[in-house]
Structure 1
Amino acid sequence: MTWRLIQNHLISIVAVQNASDASPVLSFTPTACPDLAQARELHPGLTKLWDAVRHDFWTTLIPPRPSRA
């Protein structure tokens, strides 16, 4: 999965690859990458993937706080 952060904290979906062999599943032109909400609408069968992208985005944007020992 390739995504990038665009203006106003939107997630732009660039490409989706098969995890087992890296073959392309979805790809978009650089000028027509959907944001995450649009990708969900275009490909609702990939809900678990979109949820993982959202989780990855928030983990990247706001990393977990280190635990205190």
Structure 2
Amino acid sequence: MLRFTDLVRGSETVREIKQKYPETASVFESFGLRESCFDCSIEMAARKVGASLEDLLVEVNKAIYRVRGLIAA
């Protein structure tokens, strides 16, 4: 079951999420996030590359939950 408390949040670092959920690597790359942003919070990293935090979080969470079969591919 997918719970709101299980969703990735903007305060977590890119590195934490990539280590915990390797399937998110391609999402971060597609938003232009490079290694220099990995120790930043997702919120700060999105700001650095001019991306929408909301869009980034939606795509990161979709990647995680798609792999776990909790949402359709």
Give TM-score scaled by structure 1 length. Answer: 0.39
Question: Which structure would you say has the larger Rg?
Answer: 1
Tell me which protein shows more strand as a share of its residues: 1
Give TM-score scaled by structure 2 length. Answer: 0.38
Tell me which protein shows more helix as a share of its residues: 2
